[in-house]
Structures are given as structure tokens and as C-alpha cells.
Chains A and B, each alone.
Chain A
């Protein structure tokens, strides 16, 4: 390893007071080597109790908490006590970055804006917001569903004959957290000579509004409004299709995949699929026909007849051997068994503080010099009160609740 290589964020301290919508930001920074300290009110931050929840022998586990709070430390501060206030002020003075959502520390008793500035004038404050702090919607209530609506992505999801339907997994929370982490890093990069406080503000509505693919330029240039199409394929060869044990997703015939579409027709033909000889006729070379309702319906019928006797795994293997962008629609438990992810050593079992063994997906990227995936399991609320008080030279405090 070359000299000087280490964790990119080694030596940086990040205070994480974020609610669920910003919790993944701190996780990303912790993975990169920052000392991320959860600053929790008595009983813990809301991310501790956020779904998905699983009831077990040692109590209810929040899988959200276990995912977003890995590699962080935790202090529990009771601002009604002098010790709690001293701990928070000491932490603020020692930190480089503070991650907040709307209910951040400046709304806590005894910590207003001037106090924060007095504690640490060069602190980078990352405000993870729904609509931004300036603008007519700044004070609006929201959750993931309403944010996906306000950012436009929800209008593209769902079936044609139902209401729009949101994507799984609170994507607006992940989306704003990822760009919040990017914003924090930009502030650190630009902060070389800065003395005054930097504020980085993230708007979830803006993150989502940037994710509309060609729908925005299509409207902007031609006035056409793209809508949801559910399970109806985008064109012959491109969409989600039923097979023997579930569904496969495929892109063939568009975006530079003309050869793959030819290979797909050959594949269906070679298998002796009933009615497939039709695919040899000229109209299947015509892109406009393949995008027509008739072309889509006919292709879907033939492909699903062909796929009905084949599993997702078989279609994935053989289709990819033919250079067709086809893939299984995996459930989360099937993802855990994915041969590629397995072969790259992507999953890490980690026992939480109660001894429950969880399987974690690896980091979203590999950077040379990064430390181990798991630096510490998810902390109990207030687990590091004494440790951090000692580091700050405050003597030992009594954690709340003991």
C-alpha cells in the first residue's frame, strides 16, 4: 500500500442528528472512515424504531436502524441536565460536520443558532430537507410517498389502470441522504481556508425531480407528458415478462441493442416456440411496429409462452450468453443468493450488540485503502457516552436511563 493511503475521511468527526430521511448520509461518511457520532435524545433517534421491524427473542429489531447506523458511535444527551448539555457542546466544538433534518439540534432546548456558532464557527452544517429551507413549500409536512409525488417520480410508477404506486424502500430518503453526503464532502473540499460556517442544504424534491429520465426533456421540448405504464412493456423486447418461477426484466431492441433483439428472436425460434416462425417476418424489423400495441402484445404472448418453461436463472444465464440484457426480478432474499455478489465476497455477516446475526450488503463502491467493512456494529443508544466524555476531557457522565 502506498504511503499515506488510508480512509478518505480519517480524522473527521461527524455528528449525526438526522431523522430517518437523512440517516443514510452518516452511514456513507462512516463507511469512508469518519468518526460518526449519533447524537440522540433520551430513548434514541427515530431511525432506531423505523420499519422494517422484526420481533425476536431479544426484542424488536429495526432493520432500518441496523442498516443505516452501522459503523457509528452513539451518545444519548439529556439537555435538561448540565452533563448532557456539556457533552453536546463539547461534541459540537470537536466536530467538522453536523447532519440535521428538520428537527435538528437548533430546535433542541438550550442549543440555538448563536450557541451553535459560538461552539464551533467552522462547523459544516448539512441540512437534509424535503423541499429546501427557502421557498413556499419549506414548512410542508412530508414522507417518502408525498415526496416522490412532489418530485414527479411517482407519476411514472404504478399500473395504467390503478393509482400511481411508489417504489419500494423509501427511495427519497436514500436519494437525499446520498446527495447530502456528496454535499458534505464538497463543503470539506472547499473549506480549506473557510472560517465561517458552511451550510449545505439538500432538497429531496430536487433530487427526485432530477430522476425523471427523458420525461422532463420530452415535456420541455415537445409538450408531451409521459405517464405510468405498469407491467405493459415499453416495446417488443423491452419490459418485464412472466416466466416459470417469476419475472424477468429485459432491454432488447432499443438504446443500441439491435443485435440483441435479433439474438432474442433467434433464441425464441430455436426453442421451437409455437407460433415463433412469425418472428421471421419483416414487420419485426420495423421499430415502429415493435412499439405498437399490436407488436407489444404479440411479442409478449410469444415470449411468455417461450419463458413459461424456463426459470429466471435459466433465462438469465442463457440470455446473457447470447448478449441479451435480460435479468431476474429478484426478491431481497434472492439477492442474498446472487452468484455474482457471492463470488465477489459482497456480503458480510455481522452480529449486532444483542448477538443477532445479520447479513449486510457491502459498500456501494470499492476504493483502495478503505478500512474493513464493519468497523463497529450498530451501537446501543448512549453506548459511547462515557468513552466520548473522556475523550473530550469532560470526566465521566452518567448516561440517561441508568
Chain B
């Protein structure tokens, strides 16, 4: 029965996704109660299993913290797809599932006989998600990329930074972490809704470039009318001053956005300098805009004597939008995240205890918490072969000897 706690209970997903964006899509499905079977291989392990970070830097195929952060609540089925019998086993697994996901370059699933038409022949109502980098056709269909290069092509990097310096983007493979898994999740859920209502499945192609381009949408529309998006640092039309200001201590910063004259006067009070608030150069939005660089420098000279947390709290108490620039260390103990139970600690045989984030949306406060650690490579192979494929212990042993199951 479907419950609010696990809205996708009863749904089985055969998941060929690996590395970045795809793994987050299926982790979300798993956290919502779906049974997600990660098909992976010892011969060609998921790069995230290889790339760490590892506890105390001890490299271990089963010990990557990065892998663990994207594969909670999944089961691992180790299948050698390069073996001639591999694809046949995959097809038997798919026959038991209603969703099939992958994020290989175009041609890989086809080579295994697992393209949409082939899979639909096994499971007519399947929801099939493919996440090629640039799409399954077009002159760049075989181009290789990563989150950082896709962000560059999509126009997200160039407008980020200071005008006199190089463009910088987020400093991460951002498309892999938010727009691409997020959009893919929306598409799969919408297709599942249609599947439930009509009994008809879906072919979903999320080209990672096309998905990422959407989060630059307003600037693309502006560009189509001839308006560019210059690099402006932290400045923006909605607020002035708007910036990240230094605080006491090493590399500590507070982000502050002043949206109107009331907030400006409140900020001046917080900084304890009434003359500053009364300065005619900063009295109105337009005068603050005209003197923005001077204003930023003056603010920085004032904020430096404040503890960042203290400054953010005082700004908030005065109704000014402000927040400490939190590092990974700060985030781990952030009072709001901790109070909301965002971080869950799971026990892992290789890593020991580790923390992983919850889904960022909550249905009546229930679903979406990681409850089972990421699987070891092939941890569930035997169980799944028995439960889903009806294989006997002898058959399983034979498949292992042959190197089909791993």
C-alpha cells in the first residue's frame, strides 16, 4: 500500500546510472520508497567509487564518501555487461521493473540491446530515462563532458565572476548536483503519474546541456533581445548594497542584501554608525547604486570587527537579509539543518559512521530521509538473483564462475 511516508513503495527501478547526475535521480526515488537496483560492475566500477574522498585517504572500492552521498537506500547488483551473457541477465531484471534509468553516452544501452524499443518489448509500460550529455542526435551527440564543461557551454559560467577577471562559475560541477538530477526527477515522476493513470510508459531524454540551459533562461531571453549579462560580482538589480563582507577571523564572511531604504537604515544601525546611515551618498537606492564601490569598501571596513554569526543574527533581528558564508564544516553543525534533522548518520562497514543529507522536500514532514547506507559493490547480487530472477544457488554459482555475476 502506498503511504505518505514512502509514496513510491512498490516501484522497482533498474538503474544503470553512474557517476554524477544520474545517481542523484535514483537516490531520490529510493528515498521516496522505490526499490532501486543499481546495476554496476567490478570490471568497470562507477568512477565515484574510485574517486573518493576516502576515510583517512585509504582508497577502497567500497569506501568512497562521494559515492555514498549519492547512493543511499539503493541495492547493488554486480553484473558484467561486457560478458556475452550479461545483457540477457539485465533483461530478466528489467522484466520485473517499471522504471529503467541510464546516463551513458549515446550508443551504450543500444549496444547491449537495452535501447527503449528493446526494453519496451520486455516491459510495455516502462518509464525509460536516458541522460546523454548533449542528446541522442545532432552534430555533438558524441561529445564528452562533465558538469563543469556543460555549465560552460550552457552560459552559466561566463556571466559569473568579476568583470576584470576570468569567468568562474560555481567552482563545482553544479549541473550534476541540481538542475540535471532535479529536472530528471520531475520528468520521471510526471511520467509515472501518467503511467498510473493510463497504463502507458514513456521515453524520457534529458540532454544534460538542454536541462542546464534552462537555469540560465531569463538571461537567454534577454540575450535574444540583445541585452548581455555582464559579470557583476555579487551586485544585482534587486538590492543595494548586496555583497559578501569580511568578518573577524580567518576567511570568514557574511552575505548581506539590502532591498530597500528601511533595510539600509536598519543595517546602518546594526553597524553602529549613525553618520554612515545619514550619508547623502547612500540615502536612496539610486545614490547607493551610483556609489556602490565606495559603499562596499566602507561596509567592509565596518564588518571586519564583527563575528560573522553575530553580524548575521543582528542583521536578521533588524529585518535585513544576511547569512554567514557557511563552509562544509559550518553546514554540518548549522542550527537550522540540525534542528530539522537534515543530516542523517549511517553506519558503514568500511567508512564507519558518516553523514548524508535528506531530500530537500518533505511531505507532511515524513518521507525523504536516508535510512540505509550505500551498498557495497555487488552486495545484493545473490539476493536479487534469487528473489527476482528465481535463480537457484547452483545457477548463481555457475554465473559467478562464468564471470557474469560479480
Contacts and interface: CB of A to CB of B under 8 A. Distances in A.
Contact of A213 (B64, B173, B211, B361): B173
Given A178-B182, A206-B342, A220-B65, A190 B321 contact: no
Interface string B255-294: 1110100000000000000000000000000000000000
A107 B36 CA distance: 41
B163 to A, nearest CB: 12
B157 to A, nearest CB: 5
A203 B138 CA distance: 37
Interface string A1-41: 01111111100000000000000000010001000000000
A73 B189 CA distance: 24
Given A140-B316, A156-B171, A335 B153 contact: yes
B166 A240 contact: yes
Nearest to B199: A4
A8 B168 CA distance: 38
B323 interface: yes
Nearest to A3: B200
Interface in A217-269: 217-231, 240, 242, 246-251, 254-256, 260
A52 B176 CA distance: 26
Nearest to B254: A149
Nearest to B156: A168
B94 interface: no
A363 B286 CA distance: 37
A368 B193 CA distance: 14
Given A145-B257, A217-B69, A335-B213, A179 B174 contact: no
A89 to B, nearest CB: 24
A64 B219 CA distance: 8
Nearest to A325: B144
B138 A344 contact: yes
Given A167-B174, A185-B189, A203 B340 contact: yes
Give the size category of A's interface with B: 35 or more
Given A178-B186, A325-B149, A368-B202, A165 B162 contact: yes
B4 to A, nearest CB: 6
B256 to A, nearest CB: 7
Contact of B47 (A8, A61, A192, A255): A255
B387 interface: no
Contact of A189 (B177, B193, B238): B193
Interface string B77-117: 00000000000000000000000000000000000000000
A330 interface: yes
Contact of B234 (A50, A135, A166, A181): A166
Given A52-B227, A150-B323, A213-B173, A247 B166 contact: yes
Contacts of B28: 182
B383 interface: no
Question: A2, A150, A212, A363 — which one has the most chain B CB atoms within 10 A of its CB?
Answer: A150
Contacts of A219: 327-329, 332
11 contacts: A134-B340, A145-B257, A149-B255, A174-B178, A185-B190, A186-B189, A187-B363, A219-B329, A220-B328, A230-B166, A340-B140
